[in-house]
Structure formats: structure tokens, C-alpha cells
Structure 1
């Protein structure tokens, strides 16, 4: 019978849960959800962009181009989260896990 002697396993699992909770909380904001939805609509120049286009005095095509010219925050945040998860997996000491935890959770 083999035993797992990775004493940091529980710490890794807990830290991953904390990181996921922090990213989920950030993604749940009204602004983040609105940006993600508008980005989806902009990809097809969906008519649901018309009210905002009218408000801005531009066409749906122009609004779609504006939206798509901005960084995709959701994709960037997910890439950052994945990097953190990989750093957690690679951490060899408690101090390394603490260093990861500091700036993100």
C-alpha cells in the first residue's frame, strides 16, 4: 500500500478553492457580466446592441467594432487563474504557497 506523503496536498486544495472563489466573485460583477454579454453580441452585430448604439449616436457595426477593439477581460482573467493554479501545483514549500496566496486571495 502506497501512502501519499505530500503534506501540502490539503493546502493546495484549499488555496485553489480560495483562488477560484476570488475569481468567481470578481466575475460576478454587473460590469463584468455586461461586458461579456456585449462582446458576444458584438461578434455577430446583434440587434440588441441597437439601444446603446442609438444612445452613442453610432451604428451597431461601429459599436461592435468598438467593443471588440477592447481587451477580452474574461479571457485574460481565466488565463491568469490558470497560471495561478499551475503555480500552486508546482509549489514545493509552504512559503511558496504563501507567496502565491498573498497577491490573489
Structure 2
């Protein structure tokens, strides 16, 4: 999801221009109103949520898909993105085979020169 990456500078610009910014966490599905730059937690250029620690924050700016939506539509879109990004993972249980590596003793050999 493009809106959740490289979004720190855009968020700071919006915050300075308008005095606050709404950001949505796709992982914990919450929306926060930020009024202080120090509350925009980031790693590099990507925002991350101070509640869950996941880098899945989407700033709600004019170029965001969420911008022109009402509150209910936003919640539905965030829920959809959450499912796409965090729930609809491939279920590989049918292909899983336990090789029982955890039951093997590790064999350590002396290094040879």
C-alpha cells in the first residue's frame, strides 16, 4: 500500500500548513489526530504507530484515498486494507512438513586447519 510508506515529510508539511493531521493505522485500525510534530513517530521516511509499533500509518491528506470519505467509509476502507495486508496471508498448512529439527542434537565439530 503506497500511502503507508515514505510519508513522513508529507505529513510534516500538512501538519505545519494546517496545524493538525489525521493519521490512520491500518494494523490496529485506529485514527489519530496529531497536533505536534513530536507525536509523528517515524523510522526514516515512514510513519509508524505509537500504539502497536507497526509501520502501517496512512496520513489523511488531500492526495489520500481516505480524504474525501466520511467516517464510516474510512473505517470500511481501513478494514479492507487491514484484511489485504494482515489477514489474507497464504494458508500453507497443507504444504507444511515438520522435519523435526528441534528434536535433533546439534553436532559440533572441532574446526580443522
Q: Note whether the superposition's TM-score is higher than 0.5.
A: no
TM-score, structure 1 normalization? 0.30
Query: Which has more helix, going by share of residues?
Result: 1
Q: More strand by proportion, 1 or 2?
A: 2
